[in-house]
Structure 1
Amino acid sequence: MKTMKVSLVRARYPSVWEPTNLMYVSSFIKDRYQGNLEVQILDGFFDSDEQILNQISCSDYVGFSGTTPQVPHIKKLSKLVKKEYPSMKTIAGGYGPSLQPFKFLNDPTIDYLVVGEGEQSMLDILNGNVNQKLVSSTPIADVDSIPNPDRDSIDLNRYISIAEKDEGRRVTSIMTERGCAFGCTFCAEGQFGTIWRKAGLKNDDLEYERAVRLRGRSPKLVVEEMIEVRDRFNITFFKMNDAETNPSRAHFLKLCEEMIKQEVNVPWGCNMRCDKVDDEMCEMAVKAHCEEFWMGLESGSPEIHRDINKGTTVEMIKKAFDVSKKYGIKRRTYALLGTPLESYETIKQTEELIDYVDPEIIGFSILAPYPGTAYWKPEYDKLDWSQIDEFSNTTWSSSNLTNQELRTEQARLIEKYSDKLAPIIRKKQKLGMGGSQTLDSIMGAM
């Protein structure tokens, strides 16, 4: 029987993390495909376009994945592949293509467009069960049925060594759940359910099923995976790869209990919602060797908190930071500048809140109106999203402050809290991302 050969490629981005989504797709198709299958996972961060083309030369299918800033590289790679290997089948998927499907539907260098969760759709393509370009599946309800991410088809040590250099520890990520139960206007995870929904074409328009908002993994299986990865790769710190790890209080506590029971004994950190942090959570987290909470502060303005629909208040934030400090947990936070109601006065309120909670680590970002958020507009398609992200962009302004004024405030706050800066902010400063395009210049050219 002929062996089917599949290459999965993460498009280029200036910073890097494990391509967990592709690792899950790989493990799923290896487990379910009825036949001989070989899978390799490549990464544009490490591999040049020429290297990627050489390494995929024997593939039957090549799948590209990335977020919105990675879309231009996906499109570039698909053109190169079709020129070099005209008969090779190309697939685009991930957050970027799922949120901007019409960028790919009419692209002749893309054979299949996966919108939404990728595991079942990829399997359907390989099994020949697809007769149209757009492929979309209802998200898998039982996420415990998906095998652990495929760490054999990548060189995981390439990623670990970067963390070891940057942070002095061997770090990798673990996912405890999929999706997000909340509706923050600034995040594609919240407002529209991101890629956790099935899509279909009707009269040239996309129609979506209701998003499958949140699915938790079995704490027992999560911890068994942690132990396996810990021992195999000598991991000294785990990052939970969730939108937030505590949307369900019961699930979080069971996760901690299982870590204690199975004696993981490796420190870890996770995103936490401030409205759900309490003494019992902190006490259990510390017993389970959790050392860091990453909590979005966003703003010190009560009015902005109501406007962004996050469901948190300034008082909730103060309480969460106070109680986690009491238990010696390192607190990392994020401040989001530039939501529509932002003004000098609201930034002053944010500054006052930061001074009160006194986090150990902080990052300052400016709203990026990504596809899938409440702030996206069709005219933003004209922007070069490879030069835009939430840490550095020259595109966005609030109702009261210009983009230049927002960036000046961001720079001022970065300087003021320079001893607390998150590593990603320092990296972005070195990379100099942000470009020189503005919405005014883009709109003037239309």
Structure 2
Amino acid sequence: MDTCDALLIIPPFDFTMLNSVTGRRTGRSGYYLYYPPLGLCSMAGALRARGFRAQVADGQFERDWPGALLERVRAQKPALVGVLATTPVLPVVHELALALRELRENAGLDFRIVAGGAHVSCDPGIVPDLGADYGVVGDGELAVCALADMLVRGHGGPEDAPGLVWMREGELIRNSPSPPAAVREYPPPDRTTLDRNKYFNPFMPAPTTTVISARGCPFQCLFCCRSQSMGSYRPRPVEAFLDEAAQIRAEGYGFVSVIDETFTFDKKRAAALAEGLLRLGPGFAWSCQTRADTVDEDILRLLKRAGCINISFGVEAGDNAVRGAMDKGVDDDAFTRAFSLCRKIGISTNAFLMIGSPGEDRAGVRRSVEFAKKLRPDYVVFNVATMFPGTAYYDRLIADGAADRSIWTRYMLGQAPLPVLNETLGKPELVALLNGAYRSFYLRPAFMARKLARLRSPGQAWHLARQAATVIGDYVMKGS
């Protein structure tokens, strides 16, 4: 195995969050839609553009965790080991960091552990508790390149790395973040060290990946941390996005998920992106996510012609008042219109809703489920509304004394579950409502008939059966 300067790791996501909220699923999830870790690939691209040898290791596929990964570190001898740290997998990241420190000491290796991702960006004080040597807030491309300069070439110091979190004489130091305009200059992500055939969407006939055309979010929903973890809305140059899309196609990927927070926020720009994708020619399918109040028939028809086959909408609740209280300023009519237009044009849809938002009672949850049925999405995802750092809800709870900042360290150490946002209903009832929501939506004869009528191959039938088994196993057969 070749040595490298930087090894960037995504830990396995084994539904730690779901375990902690619902008290079930102690093993790996039956969830089997896998995308490459775009953020780590982007940092690998930046490092390679600066002449460093960088590789990405995807822990989702490691059956011997963390043993196989530790052996890889021992063999490749990187100077920098980066680990993606999102809130749900903090216990896994902590376990890995401790194991890496033990390996470093016992094997005489010389590398530094760097944690980055949404949680570190919103809660940088957790970096020492995680066991990392450094943390990165915000975009990581410039920071990892500066660290590689320091660790591999002996140039500069930690104070030169934008967004770096580090300790100096017992004091936690936070460097200024990367400038917002830097996103326009980042090299394209490097996906070449990954096996593309491992990444798939069960209803797509080819390997899948992700791409982003704009970082950050222009909205300020109270439940979401994106505006803090990713910063303000920062679009990439249209041509840079199209060049990357062409490269993705050349590498053999046949389906792409565009993961902008709101793809159609700027309709003129979205149209330019779609027109560029049209020029790539037929056979390039993609999806996106956006807000219902930023689409109309013209833009949806253009997206469809450009190969868009699926759009996800964050519905959040089936009640205008509940949505208004979370500063999600999209009303029922906008959702009804958007889902109806997508059906008319032939774009499939996903709806995301939360169970137990602040102020939501049992009747409100029932309204959410019924509203989801009325919208008729192809798929719906319900989640228990959970507190995350970097959200306005979290800041309010801290200010009111209803939560304290040690919750994340206690969760990481297995001393506390992830906190829910609706303590009035309580966790057992929220789990029962979640189970009921899934049963009520998916176990309807009309829904099943529609799904069966759309099957086009034995492979699709097999994947649909697996999805059905996962839903039934999680939300029907298990008690609340």
TM superposition score category, shorter chain reference? 0.7 to 0.9
**Pairing 1:114-129 to 2, within 5 Å after superposition:** 114-128=136-150, 129=156
For 1:417 and 1:357, how far apart are their aligned partners in 2? 11
Structure (1 or 2) with the greater helix fraction: 2
Partner of 1:381: 408
2:111 alignment partner in structure 1: 88
Q: In 2, distance between residues paired with 1:258 and 1:56? A: 41
| Aligned partner of residue 239 in structure 1, secondary structure | strand
1:52-131 correspondence to structure 2 within 5 Å: 52-57=69-74, 58-86=77-105, 87-105=110-128, 109-128=131-150, 129-131=156-158
Query: Identity of paired residues, percent?
Result: 22
CA distance in 2, matches of 1:187, 1:276: 19
State the Cα distance separating 1:10 from its structure 2 match.
Answer: 1.2
Q: What is the Cα-based RMSD across aligned positions, in Å?
A: 2.9
Q: Aligned partners of 1:219, 1:386: CA distance in 2, in Å?
A: 43
1:231 aligns with 2:256: no
Aligned residue for 1:443?
Answer: none
CA distance in 2, matches of 1:148, 1:321: 33
Q: Kindly indicate whether the alpha-carbon contact (under 8 Å) linking 2:126 and 2:409 is maintained by their aligned counterparts in 1.
A: no
1:289 aligns with 2:316: no
Structure 1 CA distance, aligned partners of 2:234 and 2:287? 20
Structure 1 counterpart of 2:118, which letter? Y
Is the Cα contact below 8 Å between 1:332 and 1:362 reproduced in 2?
A: yes
- Aligned residue for 1:259, secondary structure, equals helix
Distance 2:432 2:283 in 1: 43
Q: What is the Cα deviation at residue 340 of structure 1? A: 0.7
Task: Identify if the C-alpha distance between structure 1 residues 183 and 158 changes in structure 2 by more than 3 Å, giving closer, same or farther.
Answer: same
Residue 229 of structure 2 is aligned to residue 194 of structure 1: yes
Would the aligned equivalents of 2:10 and 2:57 in 1 still touch at CA under 8 Å? yes
Residue 276 of structure 1 pairs with residue 294 of structure 2? yes
Once the two structures are TM-superposed, the CA of residue 303 in structure 1 deviates from its matched residue by 0.8
The question of whether the paired residues in 2 share the 8 Å contact of 1:97 and 1:104 is answered with yes
**Secondary structure class of the residue paired with 2:315:** strand
Aligned to 1:44: 59
CA distance, structure 1, for counterparts of residue 329 and residue 113 of structure 2: 41
Divergent runs of 4+, >6 A: 421-426
CA separation of 1:249/1:385 partners in 2, compared to 1, >3 Å: closer, same or farther?
farther
Q: Which residue of 2 aligns with 1:28?
A: 46
Matched letter for residue 81 of structure 2: V
Deviation by residue 1:95-139 (Cα, 9 ceiling, x = unmatched)? 2222222222366x4322222211111111122233452555324
Structure 1 pair 399–301 and aligned structure 2 pair: CA distance change class (3 A):
farther
Contact 2:10/2:83 (8 A) holds in 1? yes
| Cα deviation, residue 251, structure 1 | 1.3
Cα distance, 1:426–1:281 mapped onto 2, change above 3 Å: farther
Shift of 1:428: 7.5
Measured after TM superposition, the shift of residue 92 of structure 1 is 1.4
* Count of residues in Structure 1 that have an aligned counterpart in Structure 2: 401
**Secondary structure in 2 aligned to 1:40?**
strand
Opposite residue 178 of structure 1, the aligned amino acid is R
8 A Cα contact 2:40 2:56, kept in partner:
yes
Verify: 1:246 aligned to 2:264, yes or no: yes
Contact 2:292 2:335 in 1 (8 A): yes
Q: Is the 8 A contact 1:63 1:92 kept in 2?
A: yes
Report whether the alignment pairs 1:138 with 2:165. no
Q: Which residue of 2 aligns with 1:437?
A: none
Aligned-pair distance for 1:395? 4.4
| CA distance 1:31–1:431, change in 2 (3 Å) | farther
Tell me whether 78-87 or 305-314 shows the greater mean CA deviation: 78-87
Distance 1:61 1:357 in 2: 48
1:236 is displaced (CA, Å) by 3.0
**1:382 shift after superposition:** 5.7
What amino acid maps onto 2:377 in structure 1?
P
Structure 1 residue 264: Cα displacement: 5.0
- Alpha-carbon distance, 1:417 to partner: 1.4
Larger mean CA deviation between 344-353 and 76-85 belongs to 344-353
TM-score (norm 1): 0.82
Contact 1:244–1:272 (Cα < 8 Å) also in 2: yes
Give 2:243's aligned amino acid. Answer: E
Which residues in structure 2 correspond to 1:292-311 (within 5 Å)? Answer: 292-311=310-329
Partner of 1:403: 427
| Cα drift, residue 385 of structure 1 | 5.8
Secondary structure of residue in 1 paired with 2:60: coil
Deviates more, 1:10-19 or 1:362-371: 10-19
The Cα shift of 1:240 comes to 0.9
Q: After superposition, what is the alpha-carbon deviation per residue over 1:229-248, rounded to whole angstroms, capped at 9, x for unaligned?
A: 22322x33221122221111
SS class of match (2:197): helix
Q: Is the 8 A contact 2:47 2:53 kept in 1?
A: no
1:323 aligns with 2:341: yes
CA contact (8 A) 2:184 2:237 kept: yes
Name the aligned partner's letter for residue 218 of structure 1: P
- Distance (whole Å) between structure 2 residues aligned to residue 249 and residue 292 of structure 1: 17
Q: Which moved more, 1:290-299 or 1:412-421?
A: 412-421
Q: Residue 394 of structure 1 contacts residue 404 of structure 1 at CA under 8 Å; is this kept in 2?
A: no
> In the alignment, is the contact (CA less than 8 A) between 1:11 and 1:70 conserved in 2?
yes
- Which amino acid is 1:24 matched to? S
- The one-letter code sitting in structure 2 at the alignment partner of 1:185 is L
* Alpha-carbon distance in structure 1 between the residues aligned to 2:413 and 2:290: 29
Distance 1:110 1:331, change over 3 A: closer
Paired AA for residue 171 in structure 1: T
Q: Secondary structure at the match of 2:249?
A: helix
Shift, 1:149, TM fit: 0.8
Give unpaired runs (5+ residues) of structure 2.
15-30, 151-155, 160-165, 167-173, 395-402, 449-463, 476-480
The one-letter code of the counterpart of 1:174 is: V
- Counterpart amino acid of residue 38 in structure 1: R
Aligned counterparts of 1:387 and 1:149: Cα–Cα separation in 2: 34
Which residue of the other structure, out of 235, 241, 254, is the alignment partner of 1:222? 241
CA distance in 2, matches of 1:382, 1:111: 16
Pair 98,177 (structure 1): closer, same or farther in 2 beyond 3 Å = same
- Give the drift of 1:431: 7.5
- The Cα of 1:383 is off from its aligned counterpart by 5.0
TM-fit CA distance, 1:141? 1.1
Instruction: State the alpha-carbon separation in 1 of the partners of residues 215 and 301 from structure 2.
Output: 25
Partner AA of 2:194 in structure 1: I
Structure 2 distance, partners of 1:256, 1:372, is: 32
